[in-house]
Structure 1
Amino acid sequence: MTEDGSGAQQRPGVVPAEVGRTAAVQRLLDLDGRDELTSTHVRLVAKALGRSERTVWRWLSAARVEGRHGRITAARFTVTPEVRTLLALWGGNASRVHAELVERARLNPDSGPAPSLATLHRAIRRDLTAGERAGLRQGEAARRVYDVFATRPPTHRNAVWEGDHKRVPVEVDVEGELACPWVTWFIDCATRVVVGVAVTPHAPSRDAVLASLRCAIDRREPYGPAGGLPGAIRVDRGKEFLCRTVTAAMGGFAVAVVDLPPYTPHLKGTVEALNGAAEEMHFVLLPRYLHRQKLTGGKSADPDAPALAFEAFVAGLLGWVNWWNGQHRPAGLDGRTPLEAWMADATPLAEAPPEQLAHFSLEGDGRERSITSHGIRWHRRDYIAEWMVGRTGTRVSIRHLPHHDDVIEVFAGGTHLGSAYLAEAATAEQVRALRAARTASARRLRADLKAAERLRRERFKAQTVAGRAERSRTPARGEAAGELEGGARRDRRQLARPGLIPHGPAPEHWVQLVDPKQQDGRRDED
């Protein structure tokens, strides 16, 4: 048995009386107006609504006399805007609101008596939803817990990415100081694979966003195999620099950036779920985790726990990302890992050419500089590279990753020449490569000069009799071929000797041709 709003008991499967009373009474009145109403009709309505036939006849009588299809609603106290304001003022404390209403009724008797505390509690439970009560008590975040959200329809890989920053609640050792690092990552919404991640020991800026985007787009080693160009990226507009940086970087690839309203985590639920999973599965196990249970007085159970070095923290986080992509099996992927789901998707991929990635995520000042014997001068420091050997005086422009001045990229007329490294921080391998490039350049020049000397050296023909020395030179291939062909023609002409065998007399039966002039002379003689 259940109880409806009127307090009456109802049998399971029976339509509530207050829900069907209006429609049933209206139907009975129609039948009565056509003189077709019978006790059978009343009995059917009573059985369907779980009421007695007498009650249904009483409803019908009230409708005929009073024109009322429902029951009489007693006047009751309701939550007014004034009461809502008082609830917000006192943080949802109904007792304090009741005391305020009593005091106002005492000061202004004409406004009527104040409701009892029980009546106020019933009105709050009846007129306010659970979300409204939580919001008036604790704010917007508490209200959202009771909201209902729709699920986006499934898509294909690289259809949409979501990006976000997360402050890691773990203190790590950064050059002798404790700091909470930040992680910037992008995740594919369809397959849940983390395509790009970057970690900074401080609040992230453009360099973290661009570094994470670059490793997300580039599918070559050591990144990939997941990646490529997405159809769109969803980011939080509340983090303005994240939105601006992603929009500027992806505009060149015609990738749309959806700037979500600030403080709307439900609109990018995939990356928010990743943030929560990382904290529950990885960060909670690390030393000096800030959200761990506290002792009396809010003290940590182990305040002297040694902090992880920043390098160890980054290695552990990247290892967890690899586990998430390759071994974890989130719900909604049919028992597959994110990487298996990504590889099983046959959607064609759009990739950025390597030459475009050379410009991606880099900034420049628009100035041209010359390569000198000390390399390239930038910010009062010299940058060197092995490919600069032999290029002194070349006018170049430089581009660099924001907040990273140890490596710069050098371009000449839009062509990427290569990377240059800070001279004072160059490694032993980079110095050896520079020396090897100088040695190789000198060796090539020495070989070219020796070859030229061999061509320039004078030679003379060998002579068997006394005479003046004659210069000899090596004939070219075309000249040698022409000489051989000319000699062959001369040999054939020498072999053709028509005077070697004299002609004999012509036979008598041959017809001999006579010169016309000789024939005219013979006629004159005759």
Structure 2
Amino acid sequence: MPLLDPVPSLPTFLRALRRDLTAGERAGYRHGPEAARALDVFAKRPRTRRNHVWEADHVQAPLRVDADGDLVAPYVTWFIDCATKAITGLAVTPATPTRASILAALRSAVLRTDPYGPVGGLPEHVRFDRGRDVLSRTVTTALTALDADITVLPPYSPHLKGSIENLNHCVTRMLFAALPGYTPKKPRRRPDRRPQTAPPLSFTAFTEELLAWAQWWNTEHRPAELHGATPLEAWQADPTPLNDVPAHDVWTFTLEDDSRTRTITSHGVRFKNRDYIAGWMTGQAGLKVTVRFMPHHTHEIELCTPHGRHLGTAYLVDQATEEQLHALRRTRARRARRLRADAKAAEQLRHTRFAPATEPGLPRRLDAMTTTEASQELAQHRESDLTTLALPDLIPPAVPPADWATPEALKARTHPAEGGADTQSCL
């Protein structure tokens, strides 16, 4: 037997770890890659000029707000100018953000008129992460139309868009933590046992608080990188020329186009199996139009000529009332709960248990039940089985021609066709 070296003591092993591993490696082994990244050293990009580079991102507020009777965690989609640290535009979404959220935030960022200005204009470069909504054709087409270069960052690299990540961190510490219902992502070691007495904010109140904080950030906050100036003062002191776009053109660029030409009929315009009409369509039947729309905003669409001239807004015909929509949402919620309960019950029924064995032998299932219980469950399954309800053998097929090689088992399941045995049935 070979002689092994003696096992070192635990203090010796720990001293070796502290000697041979860096602080980042130890933090990564203990808490994961995010803790290791916090101890890394990153180079700092040189400060350029206003509107040279923008960064965009979504951030979820760690609190619940009242949105039409439902408690939801809102998302904020915003753009920041990397040179001046100014928030150029934002949009708030009660639920998960989509490409419509990015287009709305982009529109508010580009326009410099009230209530968005004076910060804004056309950016030269925009940095995004690899979100599906960001990589959608609608967003890339809008930014390309605005003559902006898109930089898609590699995954798991928040340090490559440090300006927007710092903004997300600041709004959480400065604003969200002071609002009712705030719930930190990392719970405290000693959780607060006091009950929440303040009611949740409404979505309107939350949006007002966020817009006021963004105004404070641009006009009163003084980041250390700006050497005592506010983002608005740094923006106004920058002599770089601005490229403005008329509001009508920005509105056109930030809508999705389905690339089809339609005709106005006596029933309006047919779009996604729905009819849309408007008062200005009177006398316009037969006119060729194209449809532009905001994603997921199906209550209205915008109609333009094939050459791009805006004609007007069309609205959904026979739109459901609020009472009908509330009843539909309640029905869908009940159906979703019932399906989840059925799936959970089916999974429990599917689970098979076996008896433990102490001697060699065949496995023995523990699924004993009475004959009545088995018959009832089989009958219930047959009532919900669509293949059984389809009755495929209700009308048996006709007798095949005599020259066909038909098995005897299939000949017994046929019936003579009307008008002779050689007449083939369409079945």
RCO (CA 8 Å, sep 6+): is it higher in 1 or 2? Answer: 2
Match for residue 241 of structure 1? 133
**Structure 1 residue identity aligned to 2:286:** G
Aligned residue for 2:234, secondary structure, equals helix
Match for residue 177 of structure 2? 284
Match for residue 249 of structure 2? 356
Could you tell me how far 1:193 is from its partner in structure 2?
0.7
Match for residue 311 of structure 2? 417
Give TM-score, length-normalised by structure 2: 0.68
Matches of 2:193 and 2:135 in 1, distance apart? 37
Q: How do residues 176-215 of structure 1 correspond to structure 2 at under 5 angstroms?
A: 176-215=69-108
Aligned residue for 2:92, secondary structure, equals strand
Matches of 1:295 and 1:253 in 2, distance apart? 46
Q: How do residues 195-344 of structure 1 correspond to structure 2 at under 5 angstroms?
A: 195-237=88-130, 239-244=131-136, 246-291=139-184, 298=191, 301-303=194-196, 305-344=198-237
Instruction: Confirm or deny that 1:147 pairs with 2:58.
Output: no
Matches of 1:349 and 1:339 in 2, distance apart? 15
Aligned residue for 2:258, secondary structure, equals coil
Matches of 1:133 and 1:173 in 2, distance apart? 43
Aligned residue for 1:332, secondary structure, equals helix
Aligned residue for 1:114, secondary structure, equals coil
Could you tell me how far 1:299 is from its partner in structure 2?
6.0
Could you tell me how far 1:390 is from its partner in structure 2?
3.5
User: In 1, are the aligned partners of 2:261 and 2:306 still within 8 Å (CA)?
Assistant: no
Matches of 1:364 and 1:288 in 2, distance apart? 40
Could you tell me how far 1:147 is from its partner in structure 2?
1.0
**Structure 1, unaligned stretches of length 5 or more?**
1-107, 427-526
Quickly say closer, same or farther: Cα 1:332–1:120, change in 2 above 3 A. same
Match for residue 288 of structure 2? 395
- Structure with greater helix percent: 1
Could you tell me how far 1:334 is from its partner in structure 2?
2.6
Give TM-score, length-normalised by structure 1: 0.56
Matches of 1:155 and 1:308 in 2, distance apart? 39
Q: How do residues 353-502 of structure 1 correspond to structure 2 at under 5 angstroms?
A: 353-354=246-247, 356-372=249-265, 375-379=268-272, 381-414=274-307, 415-422=309-316
**Structure 2 residue identity aligned to 1:190:** A
Matches of 2:187 and 2:306 in 1, distance apart? 61
Aligned residue for 1:178, secondary structure, equals strand
Matches of 1:264 and 1:292 in 2, distance apart? 20
User: In 1, are the aligned partners of 2:222 and 2:228 still within 8 Å (CA)?
Assistant: yes
Quickly say closer, same or farther: Cα 1:424–1:340, change in 2 above 3 A. farther
Quickly say closer, same or farther: Cα 1:233–1:294, change in 2 above 3 A. closer
Q: Deviations over 1:355-383 (max 9, x none)?
A: 53242122233333333455434345544
Match for residue 52 of structure 2? 159
Q: Deviations over 1:424-452 (max 9, x none)?
A: 579xxxxxxxxxxxxxxxxxxxxxxxxxx
Q: Deviations over 1:14-65 (max 9, x none)?
A: xxxxxxxxxxxxxxxxxxxxxxxxxxxxxxxxxxxxxxxxxxxxxxxxxxxx
Matches of 1:268 and 1:391 in 2, distance apart? 50
Matches of 1:263 and 1:293 in 2, distance apart? 20
User: In 1, are the aligned partners of 2:107 and 2:251 still within 8 Å (CA)?
Assistant: no
User: In 2, are the aligned partners of 1:172 and 1:180 still within 8 Å (CA)?
Assistant: yes
Matches of 2:193 and 2:150 in 1, distance apart? 42
**Structure 2 residue identity aligned to 1:417:** L
Quickly say closer, same or farther: Cα 1:295–1:179, change in 2 above 3 A. same
Matches of 2:154 and 2:185 in 1, distance apart? 31
User: In 1, are the aligned partners of 2:270 and 2:276 still within 8 Å (CA)?
Assistant: yes
Matches of 2:264 and 2:113 in 1, distance apart? 31
Aligned residue for 2:240, secondary structure, equals coil
**Structure 1 residue identity aligned to 2:178:** L
Q: Deviations over 1:185-226 (max 9, x none)?
A: 110000111111111111111111111112111223332221
Instruction: Confirm or deny that 1:138 pairs with 2:34.
Output: no
**Structure 1 residue identity aligned to 2:118:** P
Quickly say closer, same or farther: Cα 1:424–1:309, change in 2 above 3 A. farther
**Structure 1 residue identity aligned to 2:7:** A
Could you tell me how far 1:340 is from its partner in structure 2?
1.7
Matches of 2:188 and 2:82 in 1, distance apart? 40
Quickly say closer, same or farther: Cα 1:410–1:293, change in 2 above 3 A. closer
Matches of 1:403 and 1:241 in 2, distance apart? 13
Matches of 2:231 and 2:319 in 1, distance apart? 40
Aligned residue for 1:111, secondary structure, equals coil
Matches of 2:313 and 2:243 in 1, distance apart? 27
Structure with max Cα Rg = 1
Could you tell me how far 1:153 is from its partner in structure 2?
0.7
Aligned residue for 1:195, secondary structure, equals strand
User: In 2, are the aligned partners of 1:135 and 1:143 still within 8 Å (CA)?
Assistant: yes
Match for residue 412 of structure 2? none
Root mean square deviation of aligned Cα: 2.5
Runs of 4+ in 1 over 6 A off after TM superposition: 292-297
User: In 2, are the aligned partners of 1:373 and 1:392 still within 8 Å (CA)?
Assistant: yes
User: In 2, are the aligned partners of 1:164 and 1:185 still within 8 Å (CA)?
Assistant: yes
Q: How do residues 34-113 of structure 1 correspond to structure 2 at under 5 angstroms?
A: 110-113=3-6
Matches of 1:405 and 1:293 in 2, distance apart? 38
**Structure 1 residue identity aligned to 2:243:** A
- Aligned residue pairs, count: 318
Instruction: Confirm or deny that 1:127 pairs with 2:127.
Output: no
Aligned residue for 1:241, secondary structure, equals coil
User: In 2, are the aligned partners of 1:206 and 1:402 still within 8 Å (CA)?
Assistant: yes
Match for residue 514 of structure 1? none
Match for residue 326 of structure 2? none
Quickly say closer, same or farther: Cα 1:220–1:387, change in 2 above 3 A. farther
Quickly say closer, same or farther: Cα 1:319–1:385, change in 2 above 3 A. farther
Matches of 2:133 and 2:274 in 1, distance apart? 29
**Structure 1 residue identity aligned to 2:132:** E
Could you tell me how far 1:348 is from its partner in structure 2?
0.9
Matches of 2:187 and 2:148 in 1, distance apart? 46
Could you tell me how far 1:254 is from its partner in structure 2?
3.0
Could you tell me how far 1:345 is from its partner in structure 2?
0.9
